[in-house]
Amino acid sequence: MGHVIVVDLGFGDAGKGTVVDHLCAASPVGAVVRFNGGAQAAHNVVAADGRHHTFAQFGSGTFTPGVRTHLSRFMLVDPLALAAEADHLRTAGVPDALDRLTVDRDALLTTPYHRAANRARESARGADRHGSCGMGIGETASYALAHDDAPRAGDCLSPARLRRRLTAVRDWYRAAFPQGEDVPDVEACADAFTAFAERVAIVGGEHLHDLLRAGNVVFEGAQGVLLDEWHGFHPYTTWSTTTFANAETLLAEAGESAYRLGVLRAYATRHGPGPFVTEDPVLTADLPDRHNGTGRWQGAFRVGHLDAVALRYALDAAGGADGLAVTHLDVAGARPDLRACVAYEMDGGRVERLPAGPPDLDRQAALTRRLLRARPVYAPLGRPVETIEGLLRTPVVLRSHGPASGDKFPGHLRTPIDRGGPRDQDLDQRRGSPGGGRCVSPSAASRSSRRSPRPSRS
């Protein structure tokens, strides 16, 4: 199979978890590497026997015995949430999830103080909320930009240094939000984080290189390209690079490359506020998602029609994809009223492609204002896979007709991700030429040098 990077091309919730689960179940995979975001991720996986888990920090291949999880230096690691997730996995029949986990020592730590700051800041926005998971991701990233002593995973191996750094975060939170919610004292937090370090393997960057040399690795992204910190529709975005860039940086450091797999639903969804040109209240009412409801911090789960304009933009911003995985085709098959947005009516004209460029938050905010006024131009969805390939000029290499790995089928082209499956002989001939023109996307390292502190967004 080779290495694969899995990235959501929408606003998240497209089915990255079920795609990663399938790749790990259908092929020999040694590890899943998480390369952005943190405990706010919610990647739902349903096993063939009905077991369900919402993967946040563990890789979504964890139901497959032996598949490891590595949290790279680009992850924001929440030890408390990680322990709770491991407990749920244990009840779901996976007792060794922590034994299969490694954490890069340079990964930032999300603390209860970041989480409380996130919720206080978002609440203060009132009706102008940006949308958030309430897990402290944005505060973790913004604090690290302003403070060189932001706590990292490696600090958990040095209790004295850990306490100093946790104290600094707690004092920052109390000064910034004197009316904020109560938080644990530093000693309790430090004890929990130290116990985390005693339970899991905290490693250096060379560990990932060893994993890449040892076998196939799946890089699992979080959220979606349309929420990207630089390319999303500001300010309704996340403090995270959601494109292929972080994964490709890690691969390049090891002298490796990977197949770039973009994931999308056969229709569109998003959580919370922000532009959503194809939103349809009828679909929102008719297509509730069992594992994606309205949340206190995320807001409402919204549903709309396939948006080729937004997806073209996501592909441009991400530097293209080698192939696409289309999920929820079972829903599309039962809804002949689904449509495809082929253009926008915007600014007095017809727009089929949105401009994607170098990082510029002012430009992105202006684009958001334009999108809030845009109206969709529709065509029938027809045969979803053929329509998507025609509109996006990228081959569909994986079709998902349900939540379990057995509900996945290859596309009509043989590609590097195809691997012998029980119900399709085409999977036996798995090597081919991927389609979809790709270009080089900016590295995460080059983008991070242009960051500047700004209010937390997620």
What is the SS3 assignment for 361-403?
HHHHHHHHHHHCCCEEEEEECCCHHHHHHHHHCCCEEEEECCC
Burial classification of residue 198, based on how many CB atoms lie within 10 Å of its CB (0-12 exposed, 13-18 middle, 19 or more buried):
exposed
Q: Provide the terminal-to-terminal Cα distance of the chain, rounded to the nearest Å.
A: 35
In the numeric block, which tokens belong to residue 289? Answer: 């998602």
Scanning 205-295, the segments in alpha helix (DSSP H) are 206-214, 245-253, 281-286
In the numeric block, which tokens belong to residue 123? Answer: 């609440």
Cis peptide before 65 (omega within 30 of 0): no
Rounded to whole angstroms, what are the CA distances from 217 to 32, 123, 301, 421, 423?
6, 39, 32, 19, 24
419: amino acid identity, one letter? R
Rounded to whole angstroms, what are the CA distances from 261 to 137, 367, 418?
25, 26, 12
Q: Which residues are catalytic?
A: 13, 43
